[in-house]
Structure 1
Amino acid sequence: MATDRASAHPEGVHAAPSELSEAIDAYLRSVALERGASAHTLRAYAADLRTLESFVAERGAEPDPALIDLELLREWAWHQRDAGLATATLARRTSTVRGFTAWLARTGRTAADPGVRLRAPRPDRSLPRVLTRTQVDEVLDDLAARAASDDPGALRDLAVIELLYASALRVSELVGLDLDFVDEGRRTLRVLGKGAKERVVPYGLPAARALTAYRERGRPALAAKDTPERALFLGARGRRLSTRAVYALVAGILAELPGSGPAGPHAFRHTAATHLLDGGADLRAVQELLGHASLGTTQIYTHVSAERLATAYRTAHPRA
């Protein structure tokens, strides 16, 4: 993976990359090949590891991976904390560095893993934004009214929001759908999730109706005639719909609703998971639907449901 590290020197000479820089590049290539990490993940890892590289340079230490020890890593972690970063950012950077030092040891670049005892701060566990069922109905009813005009963009927007909620998709999974990923007979989607892992998820009848209307009357009008696209969802220019466009759509919708918290597409994923658990769905079934590798990641939605129950109790019970 190429990185823009070179700095200008007199007579156009560029500094040779250090052993630490080369090790970071090799690690990123390894992550890309072994884990199938996305470009977004690789950029985040690179940014995290460059903070360690910059710290080593500022400290005047030798940029040799073999000389990285626990003391240096703890100084780096303290420097990151002193910069006023959020706890979640600190935890992520620490995790990235620990993954890097484990790889250094595994590949023989260091005699031992210096990061094995590096502790990450506990991230704040703020509850995600969840819409009420009434709010979801209002959003979808409004989108359906706009789509009744058969405007191609309105038909697409309704299908997008219906699927985000019906199948609890990540935005990257939604825009990554191709036409042949949809099984209309079984009402299922073949989804390519994190780490290039495939899973099959269901969607309901309202989403099926919206999807059929979009495919029959919306998508043909959006499709570019010169370069056919395999993508299910298309933008105004006939190319695959971008994640940015979906973020803009959802942000506009959520801005009109009461409530606080992030205003991105994940709000519909959080909402779907919470409503499933509220309705009695098994936690492991929800884990499979969401594509979570760990059940612990899914368990945050049990906290959301418990908080909603507590709020309802305090509001409605006469002796709360």
Structure 2
Amino acid sequence: MPAAPEPAEPELADGCRELLDRYLRHLGSERQLSDHTVRAYRADLISLLEQLTRLGRDRLAEATLGDLRSWLARQQSAGQARSSIQRRATAARVFFAWARRVGEIETDPAVSLRSPKLQRRLPDTLDASDAQQMLEQAIAYAAEEGGPVALRDVALLEVLYGSGVRVAELCGLDLTDVDADRRTLRVFGKGRKERTVPLGAPAFRALDRWIADGRDALITPASPPAIFLGERGGRIDQRVVRRIVHRALRLTDGAPDLGPHGLRHAMATHLLEGGADLRSVQEMLGHASLATTQIYTHVTTDRLRRAYEQAHPRA
């Protein structure tokens, strides 16, 4: 069977190609973005630079605001979602700002580039009773089934809901990231930004039991110092974590089918409902902007409104 042909290299002007390579190295080495994020930036910027090449722009300095607007209009005509167009506009703005900062262009045409506004959808989340039921069922299963994998899964669910960490952050946790005295975790988020998150007593007990009684059973000579291991002894894969969460929620009556990010949403919502201030929740979640955290206030406000309408005589 003949081998599949290599994908064609995108047609970019030489000056643009060299500049793109420099920028991608900057994202990976200096900003320490993940490989996945760098690949996403690369795809968006190749689309832009191909458009500039078609327009006869051999250097980035020749690009105009009109060129960038026509590029976004082309995306819209091709049926791209608003979220994709907004992401590409952001990629262009950040790229041109960097090019100006390093002296490759004198003026930045992307400063005035606008993208379509998104309608912000409230995230699906769990009721506190659903989260409680999910964890109780996982604990009961571990007690009945026994074995290291069941202990790991309980600890994993408890940590996701108890700390609100992202799935990639959970998979990246090492044993040295646990502070037993302060009952906290050291987490490395987007861009390798470090933060400390607290962990509740039930989550810490489940984590301690997994490390003390279950983890050794999965260790191999090649195992990393990761807290959570897969069944073959390597660092647990994000896809495995998603399967564990989906399975746990399928077994919870009335719970929506959410992934690990749904447990993060639930943690933030329940903290705010319990009286936590927005800045503290922002810090625990590792959000760079308070505006990102504020979406959870809409969730809790909607619930307060429903409770008010049901209970107040003059609602």
Specify the SS of the correspondent of 1:199.
strand
- 1:235 to 2:236 alignment: no
User: For residues 68 and 97 of structure 2, what CA distance do their matches in structure 1 show?
Assistant: 13
Q: Which residue of 2 aligns with 1:100?
A: 95
Query: 1:159·1:214 contact (CA, 8 Å) conserved in 2?
Result: yes
Query: 2:12·2:50 contact (CA, 8 Å) conserved in 1?
Result: no
Q: Which residue of 2 aligns with 1:23?
A: 19
- The one-letter code matched in structure 1 to 2:146 is D
C-alpha displacement of 1:63: 3.7
Specify the SS of the correspondent of 1:201.
strand
- The one-letter code matched in structure 1 to 2:268 is A
User: For residues 82 and 254 of structure 1, what CA distance do their matches in structure 2 show?
Assistant: 39
- 1:311 to 2:312 alignment: no
- The one-letter code matched in structure 2 to 1:75 is S
Query: 1:87·1:124 contact (CA, 8 Å) conserved in 2?
Result: no
- The equivalent position to 1:40 in structure 2, one of 30, 36, 41, is 36
- The one-letter code matched in structure 1 to 2:189 is G
Query: 1:177·1:232 contact (CA, 8 Å) conserved in 2?
Result: yes
Q: Which residue of 1 aligns with 2:139?
A: 144
Specify the SS of the correspondent of 2:228.
coil
- The equivalent position to 2:191 in structure 1, one of 191, 195, 201, is 195
Q: Which residue of 2 aligns with 1:299?
A: 294
- The one-letter code matched in structure 2 to 1:202 is P
User: For residues 103 and 183 of structure 1, what CA distance do their matches in structure 2 show?
Assistant: 38
User: For residues 62 and 312 of structure 2, what CA distance do their matches in structure 1 show?
Assistant: 62
**Which runs of 5 or more residues in structure 1 are unaligned?**
9-13
- The one-letter code matched in structure 2 to 1:172 is A
102-111 or 153-162, which deviates more: 102-111
User: For residues 311 and 217 of structure 2, what CA distance do their matches in structure 1 show?
Assistant: 50
- 1:116 to 2:111 alignment: yes
C-alpha displacement of 1:129: 1.6
- The one-letter code matched in structure 1 to 2:17 is S
- The one-letter code matched in structure 1 to 2:165 is L
**Which runs of 5 or more residues in structure 2 are unaligned?**
1-5
Q: Which residue of 2 aligns with 1:74?
A: 69
User: For residues 236 and 35 of structure 1, what CA distance do their matches in structure 2 show?
Assistant: 33
Query: 1:179·1:232 contact (CA, 8 Å) conserved in 2?
Result: yes
User: For residues 11 and 208 of structure 2, what CA distance do their matches in structure 1 show?
Assistant: 57
C-alpha displacement of 1:139: 0.3
Query: 2:52·2:63 contact (CA, 8 Å) conserved in 1?
Result: no
- The equivalent position to 2:45 in structure 1, one of 49, 54, 70, is 49
Query: 1:168·1:290 contact (CA, 8 Å) conserved in 2?
Result: yes
C-alpha displacement of 1:20: 1.2
- The one-letter code matched in structure 2 to 1:50 is I
Query: 1:183·1:189 contact (CA, 8 Å) conserved in 2?
Result: yes
Query: 2:11·2:50 contact (CA, 8 Å) conserved in 1?
Result: no
Query: 1:191·1:199 contact (CA, 8 Å) conserved in 2?
Result: yes
- 1:244 to 2:235 alignment: no
User: For residues 161 and 12 of structure 2, what CA distance do their matches in structure 1 show?
Assistant: 50
Q: Which residue of 2 aligns with 1:210?
A: 206
User: For residues 267 and 240 of structure 2, what CA distance do their matches in structure 1 show?
Assistant: 21
C-alpha displacement of 1:242: 0.9
Specify the SS of the correspondent of 2:109.
coil
- The one-letter code matched in structure 2 to 1:130 is T
What TM-score do you get using the length of structure 2 for normalisation? 0.91
18-27 or 172-181, which deviates more: 18-27
User: For residues 56 and 178 of structure 2, what CA distance do their matches in structure 1 show?
Assistant: 55
Q: Which residue of 1 aligns with 2:175?
A: 179
Query: 2:172·2:226 contact (CA, 8 Å) conserved in 1?
Result: yes
Query: 2:13·2:59 contact (CA, 8 Å) conserved in 1?
Result: no
- The RMSD of aligned alpha carbons is 2.2
CA 1:162–1:259: 2 relative to 1, 3 Å: closer
CA 1:17–1:74: 2 relative to 1, 3 Å: closer
C-alpha displacement of 1:317: 5.7
- The one-letter code matched in structure 1 to 2:22 is A
